[in-house]
Amino acid sequence: MVNSKRINFLKSKMYSLIGRMSDVDLERGWEYLQTLYYDSFMLKAIQKSKITHKPGDILTKEEAIQILYFDREDSQTKNN
């Protein structure tokens, strides 16, 4: 668990830093921070899936393409 005193310290440092940044730097920093957040979110999801999924639980690329191909064929024959 993260230490709440450390978090409060980091928050106060961030507020101080944000106050000194130009608008352009703040926008650029936000883009970087947002990208890092999304990357972190995806990494956590990948790590979780490695724990919850076993080999064979997930389709290979070829299997997925084959299923999509057959679904497309089925929908085309139903429309004709």
- What tens digit of pLDDT does each residue of 55-76 get? 667 778 888 888 888 777 766 6
Tell me the mean pLDDT in the region 32-43.
93
Concatenated DSSP letters of 38-74: HHHHHHHHHHHHHHH--TTSS--HHHHHHHHHHHHHH
Confidence (pTM): 0.52
* 48 pLDDT above the threshold of 90: no
Q: Is the pLDDT of residue 78 over 80?
A: no
The confidence score (pLDDT) of residue 45 equals 86
Q: What share of the chain is helix, strand, coil (3-state, %, to 5)?
A: 80, 0, 20
Mean pLDDT estimate for the chain: 85
18, 26 contact by CB (below 8 A): yes
How many Å separate Cα 23 from the centre of its chain? 26
